[in-house]
Amino acid sequence: MNERTQGVKFYQVGSFAVGNRLLEPDRHSAQADAQRANSLISGHRACQGCGEVLGARYVLDAAMRATGGKLIAVNATGCLEVVSTPYPESAWRMPWLHSLFGNAPAVASGVAAALKAQGHTDVRVVGQAGDGGAVDIGLGALSGMFERDDDVLFVCYDNQAYMNTGVQRSGATPGGARTATTPVVTGHPGNRFGQGKDVPAIAMAHRVPYVATATVADLRDLEAKVERAMQFTGARYLHVLVPCPLGWGAASSQTVRLARLATESGLFPLFEAEYGEVTAVTPIRHPVPVDEYLRGQTRYAHLFDDDGTHGGGDPDIVARIQAGADHNIRRYGLLADPDQSARGRIDLDEGVRR
Amino acid sequence: MSSEHMANPRAVVERLAARVSGRAVEGSRAVAETVARCRPQVVPAYPISPQTHIVEALSALVRRGELAPCEFVNVESEFGAMSLCIGASAAGSRTYTATSSQGLLFMAEALYNASGLGLPIVMTVANRALGAPINIWNDQSDSLSQRDSGWIQLYARDNQAACDLHPIAFRLAEELAVPVMVCMDGFVLTHALERIAVPDQDVVDRFLPAFAPRQRLDPAAPLSLGSMVGPEAFTEVKFIAHGRISQALGRMPELGARYGKLVGRPAEELARGYLLDGARTVFLAMGSVLGTLEDVIDEAREEGLPVGVVELTCFRPFPAERLRKLLSGADRVIVLERAFSPGSGGIISPELAAALAEPPTVRGGAGPVRCHTVVTGLGGRPVTKKALRTLVRDAAAGRVAGFSFLGLDRELLGRAGYGRAADADAGQTWERLLADLKNRETWR
């Protein structure tokens, strides 16, 4: 991780509790700052435990702190837009523009171009979309924004399906997951494998100044990456995993835990890249098998037969998902000791599996 | 008065000459120079024929610093172009782009969004046909397909009008917070070299004040733009938008008159009559066909035929009242349409018929004024004087069907197998159309 900007790192051990009380006030997280921007305030209509709203709040308050409040947000159509601006109400305490589903990166580029023409380069632009808006329908506009190196930080809040329209498959839906358009029927165990897009890698292929992945499980990591992103001029991309209680079929209380398990299992690697090269990865400190992550979500319920209603489950699919996690671990070097993965899994296997 | 112009004696001479009578210049180039005088701050562009020369010229002007401060952005698509316009306009910059044909359709979603957000974007549409079959040549199917997008649509009869309509468009857009399309026939105008007077910078500056947005994205005064509106207020939002675009019916002629006075040319109007005194048969058209049409009407008048012309410049908002006035002495109107609605008929004609039928109904000698649709000049087919002469004679004699195609190549249709009994299944409209064709041998 980027110790330079993060300054402080809480290693999550034991109780997983983190606190700002141990720190000097000027080293508090943006969220812990009583003077935080509250860019997205309460009263919006998001579901309880919504990862996207949590992520947006973290990202924007950190970006507001980094820019001294000189920030404009452009939003794609989607949950974040729908829950925050039912006319005549608005939960945004910053200049905010929603245009369409597939054009948020281009609209953000337009705002940046106008600010440049006006000489207001101190005002910065954040574009926001879900995985539908960034990975699928908006990818052309996103790629255009990247290749022109427009001065925009674009944030994808990835909950791995079209949640706003009722949990349909997107190009970010993982293999094996059940969605409304990848139903589980005999011979079709959820979403197909071998599909989908790695948009952080696509962003890196554009050689943009900064690309990072993050989750809502690690507030300080996410804030540090936002702050780092705001130190660059040009196109930047932040891909944030945001669990969706509704779409993933998990209790509202499990949002942060699931996000943490996604990284600790290796399914969602955390890294930073500058100008197309990986510069930092967040090592996995508590490796877990993918089972532990998958079992908490009804979208994967067909893979397990814990209650005896799924015909023995689908261990082959689970193994395939594990293989994907192991690939990520090798590719990004997420474990200092590669054997640690297997060891951790064996240790946990004894506890989690029979 | 930019210093680089003053430093170049040739440019000064050119400018003085243009003040008197214009100079020989390509339509696209003249439009680009006029747009530059309007001082746009953000110009996103994506190339499509026949719009290319306009944005090429603007990119060069921006690169050379003649338009500073201005950002010219080469975008990844027309959808991106209009989306950049939306962002830039919402951030408070005067914003311009240009497109054609498929590009306009690719923008369609963003066009409705721009008007819904009340963003005063100005766009030149170099009118071109829509595929399939792919066709790069001129008709007006593209902009007419965006009839209901909430944009003001102005149609240029020639390149001088194409230039003059742009400062008017910016002023109109910014006064009303409604985006404006200036439509000019692709190739016929965009690529035509003719004598055009590009307005001087000081003239445009006197006419067009600096952009003062009604609302903009500003960290010092945060606004939420583009929020969701449900059934409880959506109708009212649309009602207000209808009222706002309709104000152009009053403002456009006023601004046209003011601008005309500044440049010493006849005022641009919503619609204009030509030789309407005593005209019983009147031809209505938009765009470059008007020049040829007026030549033919001149000849017909010399022959004593009671015919005239109405030039429609402002298609949206539709100037119903103005057209009722212009057509109050006519028995029949022949609407020359450079596009049509498959399975129905004309696009302009039904609106005109509805306008003329409003009480008190505009009446000709023998009842309500009859509207005839003549579809012509599709996909770049030239509208010739010869074809128009025949049409004018037929129309004056009452020998024109309610809906017909001018200059249809019936031999080609025959070779393609159309008109045989087997085609009867195609449906009533086409049967009627083919029957009309059989009765209209004389067109060719």
pLDDT higher at B157 or B422:
B157
Do residues B88 and B182 both lie within one domain?
A: yes
pLDDT class of B12 with cuts at 50, 70, 90? low
Buried b vs exposed e over A55-77: b needs ≥16 C-beta within 10 Å? Answer: bbbbbbbbbbbbbebbbbbbbbb
Whether A180 and A168 have beta carbons less than 8 Å apart is answered as: yes
> How far apart, in whole angstroms, are the C-alpha atoms of residue B108 and residue B440?
37
pLDDT at B443: 45
Angle at B423 between CA B417 and CA B427, to 5 degrees: 145
How far off is chain A from B232, nearest CA to CA, in Å?
9
What was the ipTM of the complex prediction?
0.91
> How far apart, in whole angstroms, are the C-alpha atoms of residue A110 and residue A88?
26
B223 is a domain residue? yes
Which of chain B's residues have a Cβ under 8 Å away from the Cβ of A107?
83-84, 86-87, 90
Q: Which two tokens stand for residue B133?
A: 């079959």
Q: CA–CA distance from A62 to each of A35, A276, B217 (Å)?
A: 12, 24, 20
Classify residue A263 by burial, with Cβ atoms within 10 Å: 0-12, 13-18, 19+: buried
In CATH, what number is assigned to the domain containing residue B422? 3.40.50.920
Q: Which of A25-29, A278-282, B237-241, B367-371 has the lowest mean pLDDT?
A: A25-29
Q: Which of A294-308, B4-18, B338-352 has the lowest mean pLDDT?
A: B4-18
Do residues B73 and B183 both lie within one domain?
A: yes
pLDDT exceeds cutoff 80 at B425: no
Identify which of A69, A85, A111 has the shortest CB distance to residue B87: A111
In CATH, what number is assigned to the domain containing residue B111? 3.40.50.970
Which of chain B's residues have a Cβ under 8 Å away from the Cβ of A106?
75-76, 79-80, 83-84, 87
Which of chain A's residues have a Cβ under 8 Å away from the Cβ of B219?
69-72, 94-95, 123
At B300, the amino acid letter reads A
> How far apart, in whole angstroms, are the C-alpha atoms of residue B124 and residue B220?
33
pLDDT at A306: 83
Q: Tell me the pLDDT tens digit for each residue of B47-82.
A: 999 999 999 999 999 999 999 999 999 999 999 999
B2 is a domain residue? no
Interface size A-B, in CB pairs within 8 Å, comes to: 161
Do residues B138 and B219 both lie within one domain?
A: yes
Q: Which of B206, B234, B263 is the last residue before a domain boundary?
A: B263
Angle at A282 between CA A280 and CA A286, to 5 degrees: 160
B11 is a domain residue? no
pLDDT at B358: 85
Do residues B307 and B407 both lie within one domain?
A: yes
Which of chain B's residues have a Cβ under 8 Å away from the Cβ of A108?
87
Q: Tell me the pLDDT tens digit for each residue of A178-216.
A: 999 999 999 899 999 999 999 999 999 999 999 999 999
pLDDT exceeds cutoff 80 at B437: no
How far off is chain B from A158, nearest CA to CA, in Å?
22
How far off is chain B from A244, nearest CA to CA, in Å?
22
Whether B353 and B371 have beta carbons less than 8 Å apart is answered as: yes
Do residues B254 and B337 both lie within one domain?
A: no
**Probe site for chain A from B42, B74, B96, B216 (most A CB atoms < 10 A):** B42
Kindly list the domain boundaries of chain A, sorted by start residue. 3-286
Do residues B188 and B290 both lie within one domain?
A: no
Do residues B251 and B397 both lie within one domain?
A: no
Q: Tell me the pLDDT tens digit for each residue of B239-259.
A: 999 999 999 999 999 999 999
Nearest CA in chain A to B40: A117
B1 is a domain residue? no
Residue A120: partners with Cβ closer than 8 Å, 6 or more residues away: none
> How far apart, in whole angstroms, are the C-alpha atoms of residue A62 and residue B28?
47
Residue position matching structure tokens 């009859």 = B370
pLDDT class of B13 with cuts at 50, 70, 90? low
Do residues B70 and B174 both lie within one domain?
A: yes
pLDDT at B11: 56
Residue position matching structure tokens 């951030």 = B91
Count of domains forming chain B: 2
B7 is a domain residue? no
pLDDT higher at A273 or A21:
A273
Do residues B188 and B54 both lie within one domain?
A: yes
Average pLDDT on A321-329 reads 97
Range of the structural domain that residue B51 is part of = 16-263
Average pLDDT on B139-157 reads 98
Q: In degrees rounded to 5, what are phi and psi of residue A86?
A: -75, 115
The pTM score is 0.91
pLDDT at B4: 37
Q: Which of A289, A295, A287 is nearest to A313 (CA)?
A: A295
Which of chain B's residues have a Cβ under 8 Å away from the Cβ of A113?
42, 44, 71, 73, 84, 87-88, 93
3-state secondary structure labels for all residues of B416-441: CCCCCHHHHHHCHHHHHHHHHHHHCH
Do residues B214 and B253 both lie within one domain?
A: yes
Identify which of B83, B224, B229 has the shortest CB distance to residue A107: B83
Average pLDDT on A106-118 reads 98
Do residues B288 and B326 both lie within one domain?
A: yes
Which of chain A's residues have a Cβ under 8 Å away from the Cβ of B95?
110, 114
Do residues B254 and B276 both lie within one domain?
A: no
CATH 3.40.190.10 fits A3-286, yes or no: no
